[in-house]
Amino acid sequence: MVYVKQLFFLAYISSICCDRQYNKEPDLLWRKSRTCQHKPYVALEPFYRKSILESTSSLIFIVLLGILFGFLFLGFMKGLVGLCCSKKLAEYGLSTLIDLPKPLNSYRESELKDRPVYYDVIGWPVHPDTGERTVRILSTKTEFCLNLIFFLAYPLAFTLKLCSVCCCIRDYQGEDDECFREINVIRYRSNDKSSTGPQIDKYKNNDHRETKDTNYVVNCMKYSQMSLEKLH
């Protein structure tokens, strides 16, 4: 009877060990995510790789790249509309990027190429018939390329212009007293033998040569008038 109990006890222990061995999970690796732990996977499975959107540096790069392409797209639209429809929109803000106005050898328009270039008081080329600023200052290729990078270069150029203005104001305020106290005198050297070209005779104060020359001119005019009267 004792042997039977021992046999049942050994069978019970062996069954428990088998169940534990059967239900025991293998050594697993856990992967982490932004939210929670996912279902574990076996070591033979491939390792988990983070996506691009989970990396901070990748997100910053994507945002900067999107801003760059957005500005380029806006510049492309500005240049395209300027070429097709509005000249004012195409030339708006370009004077901040380059020095305008610039002298022209000839008009950009084909119908005005053979005509002389006219300018207004400020120096902008104007239409020879209307006198308005309706002519193109830059070539179409240069204008389109400047408009393409306009939204990238304009903030930088505007910032540099403000900094230069602030520096000029600061320098001017520091030296304004000395500036107004100085007087610069330019002297004319009449006896400069090293200068080339024809010498120009200039009258000086209380110079009697001016009176002699005036009398000579008056006498010549009288003589010519008398000779004309004799001919008639």
- Whether the predicted pLDDT of 46 surpasses 50: yes
Return the closest-CA partner of residue 137 out of 154, 151, 119, 121.
119
Return the closest-CA partner of residue 147 out of 86, 67, 84, 92.
92
pLDDT confidence band for 47 (50 / 70 / 90) = low
The helix/strand/coil state of 143 is helix
Mean pLDDT of the chain: 72
DSSP code at position 47:
P
Q: Which pTM was predicted?
A: 0.46
pLDDT (mean) for 131-145:
85
Three-state DSSP string of 57-105: HHHHHHHHHHHHHHHHHHHHHHHHHHHHCCHHHHHCCHHHHCCCCCCCC
Instruction: Give bridge partners of residue 125 from the DSSP assignment.
Output: 119
Give the number of other Cβ atoms within 10 Å of residue 146's Cβ: 22
C-alpha torsion angle, residues 142, 148, 151, 154 (rounded to 10): -20
Contact criterion met (CB below 8 Å) for 93 and 157:
no
Sign of dihedral through CA atoms 184, 185, 186, 192?
A: negative
Helical H segments across the chain, by residue range: 2-23, 56-84, 87-91, 94-97, 140-148, 150-174, 176-181, 209-231
Return the closest-CA partner of residue 147 out of 90, 99, 85, 108.
90
pLDDT (mean) for 73-92:
87
Return the closest-CA partner of residue 137 out of 66, 187, 82, 176.
82
Residue % of the chain over a pLDDT of 90: 9
- Domain coordinates of the chain in residue numbers? 52-99+139-175, 101-136
pLDDT of residue 129: 85
- Whether the predicted pLDDT of 68 surpasses 90: yes
Whole-angstrom Cα distance, residue 227 to residue 232? 9
